[in-house]
A = this chain, B = another copy of it.
Amino acid sequence: MPTKRSPAPAVNPEAAGPPPGTDHAALRLWLRLLACHNLMEEQLRTRMRESFGTSLARFDLMAQLYRYPEGLRMREVSRLLMVTGGNVTGLADRLVAEGLVERCDDPLDRRAWRLCLTPRGRSQFATMAAQHEQWVISLLAPLGERNLTELVELLGRLKNQLGAP
């Protein structure tokens, strides 16, 4: 009978030890980048839920609408968030029901509409975004100015190589 074993959380892809073939520095880098990303996201997800009762998906949707005050079409939102239309529709419907998002006229197409934040939505998002920034700083700043700067520089090279637009 196999022993009972608790699966290592996927939040830290390195926890299970390196899979076969991970002697290559590129593979180690990808697993470590994934681990850092997932640990940060998990921290931010938990804080967002505990402080504002909101999900990261919802926060991200509001962030996109905040960036585009003239509104976004549904399929633009889907593309920006890289989720299926169904998910965005459900999220948007709930935000509309809560009075944080509204459907507004599309100035380029009289038959269409866009999603926009309501004034209350803008105000609520601004509060959450300021707090989110403080969380990011409190999580990363202890690394020290020198490490932070080096990481920003090295990840900049990586980003360029990956063909960032």
A interface residues (Cβ-Cβ under 8 A, vs B) = 1-2, 4-5, 7-12, 14-16, 19, 21, 24-30, 32-37, 39-40, 42-43, 60, 64, 67-68, 70, 72, 76, 79-82, 107-108, 129-130, 133, 136-137, 139-143, 145, 147-152, 154-159, 161-165
Given contacts A8-B165, A35-B164, A36-B158, 18 further A-B contacts (CB under 8 A): A2-B70, A5-B70, A9-B165, A10-B60, A14-B164, A24-B137, A24-B141, A32-B156, A32-B159, A33-B37, A34-B37, A35-B155, A39-B163, A39-B164, A143-B158, A143-B161, A147-B158, A150-B154
Do A81 and B164 contact each other (CB < 8 Å), given the known contacts A37-B33, A155-B33? no
